Chains A and B, each alone.
Chain A
Amino acid sequence: MLHDFSYAAPTAREELFSTLARHGKTAEVLSGGTDLLVNIRAGISTPLHVVDLKGVAELAELGFDATEGLSIGACVTVTRLLDDASVRKNYPLLIRAASELATHQLRNRATIVGNIVTASPCGDMSSPLLCYGADVEMASAAGTRRLPLQEFITGVKQTVIQPGEIVQRIIVPTTFCGGTGNYLKLKRIKGHDLGVVAVAMLRYGKKIRVAIGSAAPTPVLLPEFPSDATAETIKEAARAAISPIDDVRCTREYRSFMVEEFIDRLLKEVRA
């Protein structure tokens, strides 16, 4: 049984933001619920008020245009992203990572924005979104602000988001559309599991972009490499950027080893 809280599902933006402003730190925002309800059940999160975003129609929008790029609204589920033809065509790494995220049932509820807001080091969507240079757009009663994803996540499950504020959408620019690459995720079992370590690599023209998950307090984006960079150059940059730990899922050594192994495999793939 969950502790008692109030529930509101505003249908207008103004009502949403005034509700959030009124409740401040005592409110939690609900969209997919696949993290929030687990945390409430475990007593990690104890909101007095749960504010559901799904009543606001515009937050469920998913759209692509050639100028702005891909816009992923707060309530867009992982399944919807996976089924979207423009994402499949233009952002293959997002598809690769989204299909590795949890299970079919969870993907039907969990949202892409929620995966980022949870800010877990192992969040599957972070590394590919970093490779594509995604921005996060926040909104509150005070207005909107926009930050690059790497500035949005500040630590383990920490972000710059303030009480009363939501992430209303993620914007993925067209800069790297048409690039090729992959997302490799190490798991303990063949079935669904949190990533023990994960590497995303994107090759676009004469550039290679690499992001790494589960190897530091936040997902890490490496500096951009020329497409003829050696594996050793990329590995050296990776070693300097990550700070893996020993935990219940894996040792520090194995994480470091697999990051380099994945870099080798991905380089082979993007150069094939």
Chain B
Amino acid sequence: MKSIQVRINGDLYEREVRESKTLLHFLREDVGLTGTKEGCGAGECGACTIFMNGQTVNSCLVLAVEADGAELQTIEGEAGPNGELSPVQEAFARHHAVQCGFCTPGMVMTVRDLLQRNPRPTREQIIHGIESNFCRCTGYQQIVEAVLDVTGQLSDTEQEGLKYV
């Protein structure tokens, strides 16, 4: 066991962890933050995406001990202090960019990272930007629309169409 100190969504945690424990399992099992999901466990699907020192990582491919001293942000830190949804979360809800919801936490992290690096991505850039995250329900269309909407790029006709969804 090793002692580590990490800041998660602003709060400092000190824990003893098994050296072989992944950061993903540390978050879920030791800290109790189960919003971050395990899909493939091998860096293919992006369901475990979190921010580590300002960059997105697959938390299934990081050991908890490697995160000693790191700043982490997970989906639990996405909404405001009183539970108000972030603009990305709002847009996902508005566009039904969620079906089973399993990929959503990782997808929201990835989208937020994409928008930090590129505040007004084109449709092509959005599709490329979320290639790291698998969604087996939506076919991605609603997710792309949510990102276009949150960046103010949906046409009036497309906005109108939303009324009937």
Contacts and interface: CB of A to CB of B under 8 A. Distances in A.
Interface of A: 1-7, 9, 30, 33-34, 37-38, 40-42, 50, 52, 54, 79, 102-106, 108-109, 190-192
B19 A108 contact: no
Given A7-B2, A41-B41, A52-B66, A105 B57 contact: yes
14 contacts: A2-B20, A3-B20, A7-B20, A7-B63, A33-B66, A34-B58, A34-B61, A54-B66, A79-B55, A105-B58, A106-B43, A106-B61, A108-B55, A190-B131
A191 B126 CA distance: 12
Interface centre among B43, B55, B57, by most chain A C-beta atoms within 10 angstroms, is: B43
Contacts of A5: 19-20
A42 B131 CA distance: 24
Interface string B16-51: 001111100100000000000000011100100100
* In the complex, the 9 A-B pairs of residues with the closest C-beta atoms, listed nearest first: A103-B132, A7-B19, A191-B131, A2-B20, A108-B55, A37-B61, A38-B42, A105-B56, A105-B58
A104 B20 contact: no
A81 to B, nearest CB: 14
Contact of A109 (B19, B22, B25, B57): B57
B115 interface: no
A5 B46 CA distance: 26
Contact of A104 (B56, B63, B65): B56
Contacts of A103: 43, 46, 131-132
A2 B55 contact: no
Contacts of A37: 22, 60-63
Contacts of B71: none
B3 to A, nearest CB: 12
- Which of under 10, 10 to 19, 20 to 34, or 35 or more describes the interface residues of B? 20 to 34
Contact of B61 (A33, A42, A50, A192): A33
Contact of B19 (A50, A191, A192): A50
Given A2-B22, A41-B42, A105-B49, A7 B65 contact: yes
Given A6-B19, A103-B132, A38 B56 contact: no
Contact of B62 (A3, A7, A33): A33
A4 B56 contact: no
A192 to B, nearest CB: 5
Contacts of A1: 20, 25
Given A3-B20, A33-B61, A34-B61, A108 B56 contact: yes
Nearest to B41: A41
Contacts of B43: 34, 38, 102-103, 105-106
A104 B49 CA distance: 11
A99 B82 CA distance: 39
B125 to A, nearest CB: 12
Nearest to A39: B42
Contact of B57 (A9, A30, A108): A108
